[in-house]
Structure 1
């Protein structure tokens, strides 16, 4: 069997809700929609969670501004992202198709639209340096394991475009 040669890049907590601030989890383990992506033969590259790595699981909720001012945090994000960017470059060089990046709306690190999160600022900056252009999609703030509304239709459009 040959691989389909398609992948998405996903925020860490999409596949691992254990990294989320305790009490803020929206799924038991991973967001269920990830199964739709995998069922289509699309691979997933998981971004690191700089919040968990830098501050641990018992960290307090923080805003974008607090993370942006946190000494050494932005540098840690960049350091964590460099191997991901290298993977993406290697896949693209071998004619794999990156369908885009999936973030978390209004996250202080993984938001893409509106106030972009610190991690995503660094991610897109590195992509720009490497001439990597990516579509993006966000998990809305209202999305929960048992509350998905029109999310699946929007996800399907993102994966098709």
Structure 2
């Protein structure tokens, strides 16, 4: 069986992240992201991108939110709904 890694949406698509002012850690974050992806690819790991609940709920033109704003029954329901096909995919890989 091939090695499969499910990764956060923004790890593969940084355009989906909320735009923010460049900070000192932004360059280091990008370097770490690239190093991680190179290591995974060099080791033959297959990457599967998880859906981004914030992007699929609010779209690209959104602002930063805090934990309390996502701590709602509606957001959890939305997250479960978009994760359901991924769970089926994972089960298929395991069967």
CA RMSD of aligned residues (A): 2.2
Gaps of 5+ in 2: none
- SS where residue 27 of structure 1 aligns? helix
Separation in 2, partners of 1:75, 1:56? 17
Q: What TM-score do the two structures reach when normalised by structure 1?
A: 0.49
More helix by share: 2
The C-alpha deviation readout for 1:25-82, integer Å capped at 9, x for no partner, is 6439xx202121011111011110010111112211111111113x622111111000
Q: Flag the structure with higher strand content.
A: 1
Length, aligned pairs only: 88
CA contact (8 A) 1:22 1:57 kept: no
2: CA distance, partners of 1:67 / 1:59: 14
Instruction: Describe how 1:1-161 pairs up with structure 2 within 5 A.
Output: 5-23=2-20, 26-27=29-30, 31-32=33-34, 33-69=36-72, 72-93=74-95
